[in-house]
């Protein structure tokens, strides 16, 4: 069976060229911060899992449900300010809806790894625990996945790498924590039908 052609539905070369300098700075920032966390005092290590729902800025792409598992560090910088890098393995799906000429709407599914690096501001809540305000950049890499559930997609390295901004809330209850986040990509990808990815995720974790 012939593999689906991986080509953008509209020209994006000029967009990529104009934003190349900014994009490289974002990627470099995430990598440097992620590699430097070992130089700080570790305040807490946690394991987490949850659900995500993803869509695209491209019209007629609906919301699809996936999931993730991962780990996080809490590194106290000063007072209520923390640095919280996370490492997540995820499954995502983007599906085009409302196709007039196909019995089955096309979709791309992806398994990959994500590295959010979040600044976290901790607010103590008496008799409950604490509330965290989290925000920062993330770096994402789609390792493999399927097109239409029948064929493996083949994409360039440029299409597999994504990055953007993430923000959310976190509730801490002793060793248990609950997270809720929204993220928006700053890179168009064919795996998002040529658009920017939007995603919500909720998770629960245990801190050691």
Express each pLDDT in 128-143 by its tens digit. Answer: 899 999 999 999 999 9
- Give per-residue pLDDT as tens, 76-89: 999 999 999 999 99
CA 178/CA 45 separation, integer angstroms: 14
The token pair at 37 is 């966390």
Residue for token pair 């994504």: 162
Nearest to 148 by CA among 108, 191, 92, 94: 108
Q: What is the pLDDT of residue 155?
A: 82
> Strands 197-207 and 44-56: what pairing?
antiparallel
Alpha helix positions (H), the chain = 13-18, 20-36, 157-160
Sign of the C-alpha dihedral, residues 19, 168, 58, 191?
positive
* DSSP assignment string, 99-128: -SS-SS--EEEEEEEEEEEEEEEEEEETTT
Per-residue DSSP letter, 195: B
Residue for token pair 């700053």: 186
Q: Which residues pair with 150 in a beta bridge?
A: none
What distance separates the 2 farthest-apart alpha carbons in the chain? Answer: 61
Q: How confident is the model at residue 103 (pLDDT cuts 50, 70, 90)?
A: low
> Strands 161-173 and 107-125: what pairing?
unpaired
Q: What is the pLDDT of residue 36?
A: 47
């Amino acid at each position: 069976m012939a593999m689906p052609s991986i080509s953008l539905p509209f020209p994006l070369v000029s967009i990529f060229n104009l934003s190349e300098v900014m994009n490289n700075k974002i990627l470099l920032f995430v990598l440097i911060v992620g590699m430097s966390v070992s130089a700080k005092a570790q305040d807490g290590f946690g394991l987490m899992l949850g659900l995500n729902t993803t869509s695209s800025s491209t019209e007629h792409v609906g919301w699809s449900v996936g999931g993730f598992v991962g780990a996080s560090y809490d590194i106290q910088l000063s007072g209520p300010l923390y640095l919280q890098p996370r490492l997540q393995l995820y499954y995502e799906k983007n599906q085009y809806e409302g196709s007039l000429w196909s019995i089955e709407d096309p979709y791309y599914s992806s398994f990959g790894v994500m590295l959010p690096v979040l600044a976290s501001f901790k607010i103590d809540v008496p008799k409950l625990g604490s509330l965290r305000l989290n925000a920062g950049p993330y770096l994402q890499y789609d390792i493999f996945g399927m097109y239409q559930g029948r064929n493996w997609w083949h994409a360039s390295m440029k299409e597999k790498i994504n990055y953007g901004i993430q923000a959310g809330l976190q509730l801490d209850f002793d060793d248990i924590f609950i997270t809720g986040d929204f993220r928006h990509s700053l890179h168009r990808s064919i795996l998002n039908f040529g658009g920017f990815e939007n995603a919500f995720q909720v998770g629960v974790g245990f801190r050691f």
